[in-house]
Chain A
Amino acid sequence: QKEVEQNSGPLSVPEGAIASLNCTYSDRVSQSFFWYRQYSGKSPELIMSIYSNGDKEDGRFTAQLNKASQYVSLLIRDSQPSDSATYLCAVKSGGSNYKLTFGKGTLLTVNP
């Protein structure tokens, strides 16, 4: 059973701070990693993807990957109240016919 682990939170940060979300995975051959954001009562949406070791930046979001440690993280800089949501880590298996295994998600609250 491939597992994806996340701290459930809640993680609470003040507005303007950096929020750090963490994820570990069990399948060593996994190559593709994703972060989805889910607002309360809504469906998940993809916000970041990362495939290589190191950092990938997109606006206020930075994804970090360390395959040796089987660890993925998401940093949100200058956190805003609108960033308050559950963040789901997902790991891809398969090629063009793929499926995603999701972690349980971390609830982030950004306080004004």
Chain B
Amino acid sequence: DAEITQSPRHKITETGRQVTLACHQTWNHNNMFWYRQDLGHGLRLIHYSYGVQDTNKGEVSDGYSVSRSNTEDLPLTLESAASSQTSVYFCASSGPGGRDGELFFGEGSRLTVL
């Protein structure tokens, strides 16, 4: 079955370290998204991509970067982790064949920055 997987599922890191969260989908979807979810803020869009070599900033992109070198993967990098980036991160994808407005979410990556 097609799926979307995130790794690691849990990570603890220190302030200032570089962290990369992986996202891999096997639906061959063109659209991929990274959201963060925090209590009191809901899901907020960090970065998104509509295809290979395409990346776009979302509403909370400062301190984050992404790259899209193939259809399946959209890794999210925190260049210098800050305590404010402690959150649960969700990767999602969408594409033809799904219901309109249907994002398929990964299971989430819980990041703690100490």
Q: Which residues of A pack against B, CB within 8 Å?
A: 1, 8, 32, 34, 42-46, 49, 88, 90, 92, 97-105
Contact = CB atoms under 8 A, between A and B. Distances in A.
Given A88-B42, A105-B42, 11 more contacts: A32-B100, A42-B107, A43-B106, A88-B43, A92-B100, A97-B50, A99-B45, A99-B58, A102-B43, A102-B44, A105-B43
Contacts of A8: 40
Interface in B14-68: 30-31, 33, 35, 40-45, 48, 50, 58-59
Given A49-B100, A97-B50, A99-B33, A44 B105 contact: yes
Interface residues of B, number: 25
Interface in B96-114: 99-103, 105-108
Interface of B: 30-31, 33, 35, 40-45, 48, 50, 58-59, 90, 94, 99-103, 105-108
